[in-house]
Amino acid sequence: MWKKIRWILIVAVGAALAWLLFFSGKSPSAQSPYKVSRLMRGAVRQIVSATGEIRPLNTILVGSQVSGTISKIYVDYNSVVKKDDILLTIDPSVLQATANEAKASLDSAKAQLKYDEAEYHRSTELFKSGFIARSEMESSKTRFETSQQTVNRMQSQYDRAMTNLGYATILSPVDGTIISRKVDAGQTVAASLQAPDLFEIAEDLSKMRIETAITEADIGMIKNGQSVTFTVDAFPTETFNGTVNQVRLSPRTAQNVVIYTVIIDVDNSDLKLMPGMTAFVTVLVEEKEDVWKAGTEAFLVRSYKQILPDNQDIQDGKATPADTLLILRGDKVLLIPYKKGLSTSNEAEIIADGLEKGDAIITGRTDAQAQAARTGAPMGGGGFGSRSGMR
pLDDT digits (tens, 9 = 90+) for 137-180: 999 999 999 999 999 999 999 999 999 999 999 999 999 999 99
| Residue 242 pLDDT exceeds 90 | yes
Domains recognised in the chain with CATH numbers? 30-44+290-381 (no CATH), 48-57+206-289 (2.40.30.170), 66-91+168-202 (2.40.50.100), 93-166 (1.10.287)
pLDDT in tens, 280-291: 999 999 989 999
DSSP code at position 206? T
Cβ 282 vs Cβ 51: under 8 Å: no
pTM, two decimal places: 0.65
Residue 240 has pLDDT above 90, yes or no: yes
SS3 content of the chain, % helix, strand, coil (to 5): 30, 40, 30
- What span, in angstroms and rounded, lies between the C-alpha atoms of 389 and 345? 7
- Say if residue 385's pLDDT is above 50: no
Q: What does pLDDT average to over the chain? A: 86
Over the stretch 321-344, which tens digit does the pLDDT of each residue have? 999 999 999 888 999 999 999 888
Of the candidates 193, 191, 172, the residue with the CA atom closest to the CA atom of residue 181: 172
| Phi, psi of 300, rounded to the nearest 5 degrees | -100, 0
